[in-house]
Amino acid sequence: MQRLFLKHDHGAPTIGRYAINTKMDKVFGLLVAKMKGFLRRANKIALAADIWTKKGMTESFLGMAARFYDPETKAMHSMKIACRSFPLHIRRLEYAS
């Protein structure tokens, strides 16, 4: 698989979508485990939320980020931990005055 994507080797065997999905699931699992390891070592974690709307107000997004100090590497780290989209049903919010 590495030959096909990194070196653009046209002689590499073709990969099916199920094989790619399986590989992506494995890579995702490894990344989540690595993130959890970093977060477990942190004494304190600062969370930040960000909400934005797609142009034309057709969809909205909610993102979460974590920032923390890793005592093992003595460095600050920042990672995106979630991003969810949801349809925008309300075109205009009206606030009671």
Dump pLDDT digits (tens) for 6-32.
Answer: 566 677 677 788 888 899 999 999 999
Return phi, psi of residue 12, to 5°: -70, 150
Dump pLDDT digits (tens) for 27-48.
Answer: 999 999 998 988 898 999 999 9
d(CA 78, CA 65): 7
**Residue 40 contacts residue 70 (beta carbons within 8 Å):** no
- Among candidates 45, 42, 80, 76, which has minimal Cα distance to 64? 80
Dump pLDDT digits (tens) for 49-81.
Answer: 999 888 877 788 999 999 999 888 899 999 998
Cα-based angle 61, 21, 81 (whole degrees, multiple of 5): 35
